Each structure stands twice: as C-alpha cells, then as structure tokens.
Structure 1
C-alpha cells in the first residue's frame, strides 16, 4: 500500500514558539479532518516524514506517538502506521440521553446484545448505592451496545427486583431500560451521577468488545435517581478508548 502524500499539510515553521512535534501532529490531524487522510490510509514512514519536514526522527516519533495514544492512528508491526476510524463522541455527560437515541442522531445504527437478564442475590456494595437492604434481590442486566455493528460498550446494570418485577419479560434487545421503567413501573429517572475512570482492557473486554488486552478504556459508573431523589439503578459501563471520546460542556 502506498502512503498518502502530506507535503501540503506538513509545513513546519521553526521560527515560531510552537514545538515542532506539535506542528507535525496538528498537520496530520488537519489532513484527517479535511479528508486528505481517510480511514485505513497509510501515512508516510518516519524516515519519509523526516525528509518532508526537515526535522529529526525523535520529533516525528513524538508526534506520531501522541496521535496513536489518542486513537487517531494505529500501528501494524512490519506494515506501517494507518488512520483509525473516527472516534464517537459521547455526549451523555451533558444530558440524559439513551444510547440508541444518541447513535441515531450521529447517523449510526444502534443495536444491543443481551448476555444476561436475571434476578440475583443482593450485593452489599451495590445495594448500598441504592440505599437498599443488603439482602434485597436485584435484577442484573448485562449487555453489549453496538454502533453500525461494531461493539462499543459493555454494560452491567442493577436495579431492585421487587420494585421492578413487571420488567421480567421485557426484551432489552429492543427496549430501553429507563423507558421501560417509565412505561411499566411509572418510575422516571430524571437525574444521574456519573464517575469516569481510565482503565486498561482485560481479557474479558478483549473477548466481548474486540479491544486488545491492556489497551485504554473508560469505565463509567452511573447511579440513576428519580425526581424525588431515590436511587433506582446502578450501572458500570466499559467503553472502548480507541472508538469513543467524551466531551463536557460548561456554562459560565
């Protein structure tokens, strides 16, 4: 495969107070954003980029390394460096929105695989998050969420069994959890608390999501509350770091 020419995007100016590696990085990002570099395109080798830019290999290596770490590029040993698929920007930090709705708004086809949906004994740590007695049984819902048939996130959800027994026969391949709570139990989740944590992929993540063990992921813990302030759901989601990003919008 022939590398895409990037000469027009890699005009380095050594006379400005901007690090050279950063200029290279931004030039490659611009080429991706403007469509000169497309998904799966191979970029020039480090030696070729050194010749194009007239700078040292460590500087080139730093620019490429950051782009790989941030998920814009990926390397194949013995073959080269290639453009990754565009990350999906998750907006759920700014608003309470279902996965399916968010993917549809981005022009992607959402789908769900249900691995488990069953009643399990209460767990003291999880029950405490919903202020339940330690022995109170829980529903356990285990799912993989997809966008355009690509697995993006593995989700484990817990909610009180006695309060939501009417959800026993819900098909969560087709149905939203919060919508089902609203329609069948008249319980409306109006507020959530979320905690994000950077983690590394485990063997199970590799098996379920196809992300290599050790790669970056984002672990999101969520507690869902009603308007009265009652916690009715706790979930842990593990997002692929190579395919998702998260943005927060603040008003000052």
Structure 2
C-alpha cells in the first residue's frame, strides 16, 4: 500500500467543497501511483492526516468514488481499486457485446457451449413469430471480459433467415456483425426486460459465482427494420461486473416512467 504524498493540497478558501477537491486529488494520486484493480487504497486516517480534512469529508469522498465504480470497500479488509464494469446504454443503439467491449478497449472472449439447429418450442416460437417446431438456430455462450467470465447468453434465430450459420466459428467475432454482413440484416428496434435474480446452480457454475449470487437477467427480442423478429435472447450478467445506464426521454412534453407489476408467485416468462 502506497501512502498518499501528492503535492496537491486542499485549498481552504476555495468555493469548491472539500470533498470535491479531495476526490480530484485522490484520482490524480491513483493515476500517478499507477494503482490498478485489486491494489489497496490508503486508509481513512492516512488520507485525513495527509490532506488535513475531517474523517467525514474522507468518507463522503470515498462514497462518491465507490458509487462511480472507482473503488470497492470491503468490510474488515479495507478499500481497493475496483475492476472495470461493462456499461450498457439501453436507449442509444442496438449493438452486440463484441462491439461494446471494443469501444471500451476491453478484450472479450467467447466459450461456445452449444450451437445447433433445433425445433422451436414455446416461448421461442411465439416471440420469433414462427410455427412451433419450426427450425431455429440456437447459440449458447459464456462471454468473458479481460479473462473473467461475465455473461451467459443464449440466442435463437429462425434458421430460414440464416442458412448455414451453424457452421460458423463463434468463439471469436460478433454474431450481430455476421447477421449484418453475411445475411444483410438491418436492425430496427429491440424489446428488452431486465430483472435481478439469484444465480441458478448451472448459471452460477458457468459464471464462476456462488449459487444464489446476484445476477441481472435480460430477455430481449430484436426486430429488423420491417418489424419482423430476428433474434430472441436471454443473458445472465454477473451483478458485480455490470451496470446498465438508462436514458429517460420525454413524451408529449412530460417525462414518463413505465412500471411493470408482477404479481407475487406469478411467472415472469
């Protein structure tokens, strides 16, 4: 653990609150000292003594850094530099995980569990608007970021729209890029639902977490520009490695938030 020793100090007569100044100083110190994921940060007493601020100011600063995903505080152990989380902008664009990881400069890996053509069963057939028993291509993968398992995904696509896709190597590259370039698909919109769940045993095994650990489950149907379903997928993301940023727009001059009620004991599909 490196003791904070940066030249920057709190400016007492500044209009900028102490905790904001301290936050800037600590971020600069972290960068200057080259601290990386897992490195221990300085203790509250050390920070307080070094920069001449109260413990309450230090706690407020650390709370902001934790909320922003810069640090992680572990009870009984201390404060550590946190790992990067994948962000999902749900209202910006429709893109695959491969493109998102590339945009963040992260290495995305894919472990293919199965890929095959199978008869469509419910609810796949309903959501893809095909007849039950109609051939669909099914792809199941575990996606990893920087060598860590991050997401378990399963996709279903009507086979008639993607002839020969079952022969493709999905251990590298992007499914969505393949759909665009080889099959000429143009994406229109997607309908998605997100819920927090406890990790089932099988998914927990694939993601390297304990059974019952918090996961984010996404269910989605992707449509082309004509409103015809392209893909149905279910993804389970590790809760400690994911964050979803949602932009709220305005309808008829008013900001609106839609709520979905699920009755206790009922199925969420």
1:11 is the counterpart of 2:10:
yes
Displacement of 1:143 in angstroms is 0.8
Quick one: distance in 2 between partners of 1:122 and 1:87?
34
Q: Is the 8 A contact 2:44 2:55 kept in 1?
A: no
Q: Is the 8 A contact 2:187 2:225 kept in 1?
A: yes
Quick one: distance in 1 between partners of 2:249 and 2:76?
47
- Output one character per residue of 1:74-119: Cα deviation in whole Å (capped at 9) or x when no partner: 3456542110123344457523334334433433333211011133
Q: Is the 8 A contact 1:198 1:218 kept in 2?
A: yes
Q: Normalising by structure 2, what TM-score?
A: 0.68
1:188 is the counterpart of 2:185:
yes
Q: Which residue of 2 aligns with 1:178?
A: 176
**Relative to 1, partners in 2 of residues 1:70 and 1:204: Cα closer, same or farther, differing over 3 Å?**
farther
- Structure 2: unaligned runs, 5 residues or longer: 251-269
Q: Which residue of 2 aligns with 1:236?
A: 234
Alignment of 1:193-232 (within 5 A): 193-195=190-192, 197=194, 199-200=196-197, 202=199, 203-211=201-209, 217-232=215-230
Report the secondary structure of 1:207's partner residue. Answer: helix
Q: Higher mean Cα deviation, 109-118 or 192-201?
A: 192-201
Quick one: distance in 2 between partners of 1:213 and 1:66?
30
Quick one: distance in 1 between partners of 2:62 and 2:209?
21
Quick one: distance in 1 between partners of 2:224 and 2:126?
17
Alignment of 1:53-68 (within 5 A): 53-56=52-55, 60-61=58-59, 63-65=61-63, 67-68=65-66
Displacement of 1:228 in angstroms is 1.7
Q: Is the 8 A contact 2:192 2:221 kept in 1?
A: no
- Output one character per residue of 1:115-156: Cα deviation in whole Å (capped at 9) or x when no partner: 111334433233222222344343321112233333332211
- Structure 1: unaligned runs, 5 residues or longer: none
Q: Which residue of 2 aligns with 1:106?
A: 104
Displacement of 1:6 in angstroms is 6.4
Q: Normalising by structure 1, what TM-score?
A: 0.72
Q: Higher mean Cα deviation, 163-172 or 88-97?
A: 88-97
How many pairs are equivalent? 247
Alignment of 1:58-207 (within 5 A): 60-61=58-59, 63-65=61-63, 67-68=65-66, 70-76=68-74, 78-90=76-88, 93-182=91-180, 186-195=183-192, 197=194, 199-200=196-197, 202=199, 203-207=201-205
Q: Is the 8 A contact 1:156 1:236 kept in 2?
A: yes
Q: Is the 8 A contact 1:110 1:148 kept in 2?
A: yes
Quick one: distance in 2 between partners of 1:129 and 1:12?
60
Q: Which residue of 1 aligns with 2:267?
A: none
Quick one: distance in 2 between partners of 1:241 and 1:13?
40
